Amino acid sequence: MTPLKRLEGAPAKGPLVLIIMDGFGIGPENEGNAWHLARTPVLDGLMASCPATTLKAHGTAVGLPSDADMGNSEVGHNALGAGRVFDQGAKLVGRAIASGALFATPLWSELTEKPSAGGTLHLIGLLSDGNVHSHIEHLFSLIDRAAADGVRRLRVHVLLDGRDVPETSALEYVDRLEEFLGGIRGKGPDFRVASGGGRMVTTMDRYEADWSIVQRGWEAHVLGEGRRFASAREAVEAFRRETPGITDQYLPHFVIADEKGPVGPIMDGDSVIFFNFRGDRAIEISRAFDEESFDKFDRKRVPRAVYAGMMEYDGDLKIPRKYLVLPPNIEGTVSELLVRAGCRQFAVSETQKFGHVTYFWNGNNSEKFDEKLETWLEIPSDRVQFNERPWMKAAEITDAVIAAIGSGNYDFIRLNLANGDMVGHTGILHSAIIAAETVDLCVGRILEAVKAAGGIALVTADHGNLDEMFELNDKKEIKRDKKTGQPSAKTSHTLNPVPLILYDPAFPGRYRLAKRGDAGLANVAATILTLLGYRAPEEYLPSLIETNGAGS
């Protein structure tokens, strides 16, 4: 990609600040819309008085297979930083399975060779059709092909969702899996579920927020240690009886056992596939399998097994060493181009979303393009359920941003306020309302600093979440329990568009934002370049900035 060229006219005196309000979509204004219910005078004022438009943040606009697929923070930040739409994990894996390319690789042969000769093939991953981290149909395809290729013994280690799908839907997927495995067992192979647990407490930690989550998964999947049950259904039903109101994502880890003991610990000579395609919550368990000098917890026993991820989860750090499907190759991100142009950048978020303003923003690369021109700041997240502290680390992030603006050391500042997404995933409406009000307060503080510095701010989101805290039917009406009339909580992302607001206090009439029906998150990169005084590359989706001629 060619170097950036300057546009005519000088950019703003102060920095450009991109505020990403994670999980803030624009949805129906009903009793389940936490943003609508919250007191948000800052955002309300911005929407009423500033240039604003909406952006698509789901489906094909962010590289997913169809517009029925909700967006997520990973593909959202990829699109925001890349300026173009790249095919993402779900589409890449689906294509590799459908074409047979995944099964034609030497790695697939290696993974199925020993299990065909008496060992065990283990499949670990999120059991749902949320299509954010994984898809149950991908799992079924792997199982089917393994049986066809002569694997005689297979174990599935199920991570229960309740986050990208309804919060207590685990048994629907467990029953589908058991039926599928039962059909294969009827033909002779020994295919069974071996262990599991809720995704937020078992295996799927990210950004090293809490390694004990990965340790619990290691104990269940590898060592066969944990509370024992005869089946996954029995485990789920027992946990629900013992802790009324618990949702699937927080169900404790468990082990399936019979009269001989655990049915499927991972042993020497076995093969393991982590079948999630999304990287953030797959990196740590991959490190536990791959790293020889591992010190995050006591693994007790490390099996000599072939381990592979569905995809390469970190291209810079080469995690894992072996993987089945190539990730999208994203080059020429907006930060890379700005670094080449000498632009000084600052990126900040708390642990839960730090990788999104760095790794995913930079096209799935974990390293800086230039140590001298880029400053990254991670603020450690609290280790509690997010509904208990819905303010999270928004104040600390805001303090850091205000300091960065005041320093005069940066031309472009980007931040992620994670509250809307992480609290929205809990399904607790009143906490989500507090999260929205927290973000509103922090946005207001940041904008005051932007104004004082003579800068410009863009306010947007990566996908929707807290805008629908209750499930909706096809008529966009809230679903309710037939007996109690209570609404059904929703913990997943939404298909709603997100806002893009331009705050330009020095010259409030200088720019307009184009209102285009096809505009999506990938248009933001070119918009950033325009505001910084650069012409966007031809490969980028077009900038949404239109000039009124004022202030120039």
Burial 81-116 (b: 16+ CB within 10 A, else e): bbbbbbebbbbbbbebbeeeebbebebbeebbbbbb
Domain count, the chain: 2
**Which domain-ending residue is among 325, 343, 373?**
325
Examine the pLDDT at 215 and tell me if it is beyond 50: yes
The pLDDT-based confidence of 386 (bands split at 50, 70, 90) is very high
**Does 167 lie in the same domain as 77?**
no
Structure tokens at 123: 């499949």
Last residue within a domain, chosen from 276, 295, 325: 325
Residues 353 and 287 in one domain: no
pLDDT of residue 551: 36
Are residues 303 and 281 located together in one domain of the fold? yes
Query: Which domain, by its residues, includes 130?
Result: 90-325
Query: Do 95 and 82 have their domain in common?
Result: no
Decide if 235 is inside a domain.
yes
- Among residues 325, 354, 369, which one ends one of the domains? 325
Task: Check whether residue 79 and residue 17 sit in a common domain.
Answer: yes
Are residues 435 and 523 located together in one domain of the fold? yes
* Cα–Cα distance for residue pair 253/203, rounded to 1 Å: 9
Percent of the chain residues topping a pLDDT of 70: 98
User: Which DSSP string corresponds to 299-339?
Assistant: -S-----EEEEEE-SBTTTTBSS-EEEPPP---S-HHHHHH
Q: What is the pLDDT of residue 482?
A: 83
Name the residue among 111, 510, 491 with its Cα closest to residue 323.
111
* CA end-to-end span of the chain: 29
Both tokens of residue 518? 């096809």
73 is catalytic: yes
In a domain, 552, yes or no: no
- Angle in degrees, CA 251, 253, 257, rounded to 5: 125
Q: What is the pLDDT of residue 9?
A: 73
What is the rounded CA–CA span in Å between residue 280 and residue 51?
34
Instruction: Say yes or no: 240 and 96 in one domain.
Output: yes
Q: Which two tokens stand for residue 451?
A: 């104004």
Residues 135 and 69 in one domain: no
The 10s digit of each residue's pLDDT in 76-118 is 999 999 999 998 888 899 999 999 999 999 999 999 997 877 8
Q: For 287-318, how does the pLDDT look when each residue is reduced to its tens digit (9 = 90+)?
A: 999 999 999 999 999 999 999 999 988 765 78
Q: Is the pLDDT of residue 423 over 90?
A: yes
Are 316 and 334 members of one domain?
no
User: Which is it for strands 254-258 and 227-229: parallel, antiparallel or unpaired?
Assistant: parallel
Q: Catalytic residue among 66, 73, 349, 407, which? A: 73
pLDDT tens column, 57-78: 999 999 988 888 888 898 999 9
What's the mean pLDDT in 231-242?
A: 98
Same domain for 426 and 447, yes or no, is: yes
Q: What is the mean pLDDT of residues 156-166?
A: 96
Q: 204: domain CATH number?
A: 3.40.1450.10
Number of helices (H), then strands (E), belonging to the chain: the values are 16, 20
pLDDT of 328 strictly over 80: no
* Shared-domain flag, residues 488 and 535: yes
